[in-house]
Amino acid sequence: MAEIRKCREMKGARKCREMQEARKCREMQEAIEDAQREIQQRMKISPALSYLEQIRMHFGSKSHIYDDFLDLLREFKSKM
């Protein structure tokens, strides 16, 4: 009887470790997915900022045109 109980306890402990490892694995996977989403978001923003910088440089001496352009973008964003 004692051997059977000990065997069951060992299987229970093993099962517990497996569940903990699976939970850690899921947490790590979620962290990786979060990091990937953040990188993708930054990759989308970077070209947009680059484009805005090019517009600003192009109209450098005519800052009112650039300001009008930014106002248009803000208005467009507010309607979305």
C-beta of residue 59 within 8 angstroms of C-beta of residue 66: yes
Label residue 75 by pLDDT band (50, 70, 90).
very high
Q: Is the predicted pLDDT of residue 5 greater than 70, yes or no?
A: no
CB-based contacts of 59, cutoff 8 Å, min separation 6: 65, 66, 69
pLDDT in tens, 9-41: 666 667 767 777 878 878 888 888 888 888 777
Q: What is the pLDDT of residue 10?
A: 64
Considering the chain, what is the average pLDDT of its residues?
80
Task: Indicate the domain borders of the chain.
Answer: 2-79
The predicted model scores a pTM of 0.43
3-state secondary structure the chain: CHHHHHHHHHHHHHHHHHHHHHHHHHHHHHHHHHHHHHHHHHHHHHHHHHHHHHHHHHCCCCHHHHHHHHHHHHHHHHHC
